[in-house]
Amino acid sequence: KVSLVHGAHRTGRRTDAAMARWRAYGLGQFIHWGLYSIPGGEWDGKTYNGAAEWIRSWDGITKSAYDSLIYHFNPVKFDATAWAAAAQQMGAKYVTITTKHHDGFCLWPSKYTSYTVASSPYKKDLIKPLVDAYNKAGIDVILYFSIMDWSNPDWRYDIKTKDDSIAFERFKKFTRNQLLELLERYPTTKGLWFDGTWDNAWVKQAAFADELETEMRKMRPGLIIGSRFRADENGKRHFDTNGQLMGDYEQGWERKIPNTITEVHGNDWDCVMTVPENQWGYNAAWKGHIKTTDELLEMLAKCVSLDGNFVLNFGPKGDGSIRKEELSLAREIGDWMAVNQEAIYGCEYAGLEPQNWGYFTKKTGTDKIYMLVFNVPVSGALRVKLPVQTSISKAYRLGQPAQTFVPEEIQASESFIHLKTTSEKHPFVIVLETAKKT
């Protein structure tokens, strides 16, 4: 181990109530919304092949033309209550909302820049009604904040000259001011989801970022900050030079999911996922592989089975409406969650040998096991290997307790659950009440 001043300040998981609440969420919603939502990946009749929220970086658009979008941002169809209701029906327990993406446009009327909603035709703060509506719907709010800020002339990708250094000092002050402003304005928010922290200029700010993280945690006890915020003094990100996780949970799982529990290293983590392959902001074309409800449910099940949260992204349009495809996905996910949420909320890695038919979760603090079935074998026989000296006292279908199963024990602590049919059309859950053999 090397001695570090600005590495991880804690080993192992946080054990406080605020983090336990975060750990129990299971399912979250991500919202990417801003000026990029107006063009939706298209400009002058041409389609931008990258992620729609990165269109400003495309050489097919002039920066000034993009920045002028602020004069056209007027989301008259924005309805925070309707957004929150759709998220609640989907079963999201938290939402991560972009307060400021890489383009630097602020969805709140920040005092520290004019590049905000206050300078748009809409004028009004968008974050407060969102926080209030989601909280009222029983959904916690995490604020997404991009350190990289293309609108700020003091931002630098790297610090090469004295002028760079002077400018970046101004930028660091601006960044701290905005973050403290967000914490002051929205006191019920539970965490900050940082992005845009990979460039050298920021990676070199280990001491400043460490001090700022400490200051924010003092300001908001229980605040949840992921591994993407800061680097250690050797430039190590997510995991410090000693391999210890920076922050409270791992933020490396962007559009990907671990396959084994060993990849998780005993940490908390979230997977943030797009519905198209790689589009976070509204994308008019909606082309390529669009994930189905069952595909997204399997991602959710896999994340929770490996101790993570699954955060599904929505990209509202520039006018504040949510596209019908996303609303119908939310509805279908919600219909499944209405029956099966017990296998998701407050659940964790079950510690059982993975099986091909799907995923195990376990209700935290109990011996209750859930079998989330996605791949019914032609035999209809689902293999279950329990810890030695553990037996199944009851097995039934979640949502249909009268549909019980009598496990066939094939050897010590290994059984088959024989399905009554192999023609299931959608994922389902079997509950196993287990007990230690006396």
Ligand X SMILES: C[C@@H]1N[C@@H](C#Cc2ccccc2)[C@H](O)[C@@H]1O
- Kindly list the residues in this chain that would bind ligand X in the complex (CB under 6 A): 32, 51, 53-54, 195, 254, 272, 280
Measured from the CB of residue 144, what is the shortest distance to ligand X in angstroms? 7
Residues 195-204 as b/e (b if ≥16 CB within 10 A, e otherwise) read bbbeeebbbb
Residue whose CB is less far from ligand X, 233 or 254? 254
Measured from the CB of residue 104, what is the shortest distance to ligand X in angstroms? 13
Measured from the CB of residue 384, what is the shortest distance to ligand X in angstroms? 37
Residue whose CB is less far from ligand X, 63 or 123? 63
- Report how far residue 375's alpha carbon sits from residue 426's, in angstroms, rounded to the nearest whole number: 9
Taking CB atoms, the residue at the shortest distance from ligand X is: 280
- Report how far residue 175's alpha carbon sits from residue 181's, in angstroms, rounded to the nearest whole number: 10
Residue whose CB is less far from ligand X, 25 or 280? 280
Q: Which of 204, 199, 299, 290 shows the shortest CA–CA distance to 253?
A: 299
Residue whose CB is less far from ligand X, 167 or 272? 272
Measured from the CB of residue 257, what is the shortest distance to ligand X in angstroms? 15
10 Å CB burial of residue 388 (0-12, 13-18, 19+) is exposed
Q: Which of 312, 366, 370 shows the shortest CA–CA distance to 90?
A: 312
Structure-derived torsion over alpha carbons of residues 340, 325, 142, 87, reported in degrees to the nearest 10: -50
Residue whose CB is less far from ligand X, 284 or 381? 284
DSSP state, residue 106? B
Measured from the CB of residue 32, what is the shortest distance to ligand X in angstroms? 6
Show the 3-state SS of 42-101.
Answer: EECCEECCCCHHHHHHCCCCCHHHHHHHHHHCCCCCCCHHHHHHHHHHHCCCEEEEEEEC
Phi, psi at 106, each rounded to 5°: -100, 130
C-alpha pair distances (Å), 343 with each of 84, 127, 264, 355, 370: 23, 32, 20, 17, 6
Measured from the CB of residue 133, what is the shortest distance to ligand X in angstroms? 22
Measured from the CB of residue 344, what is the shortest distance to ligand X in angstroms? 22
Q: What is the chain's alpha carbon radius of gyration, rounded to the nearest angstrom?
A: 23
Residue whose CB is less far from ligand X, 195 or 307? 195
Residue whose CB is less far from ligand X, 143 or 395? 143
Residue whose CB is less far from ligand X, 31 or 430? 31
Measured from the CB of residue 195, what is the shortest distance to ligand X in angstroms? 5
- Report how far residue 251's alpha carbon sits from residue 276's, in angstroms, rounded to the nearest whole number: 20
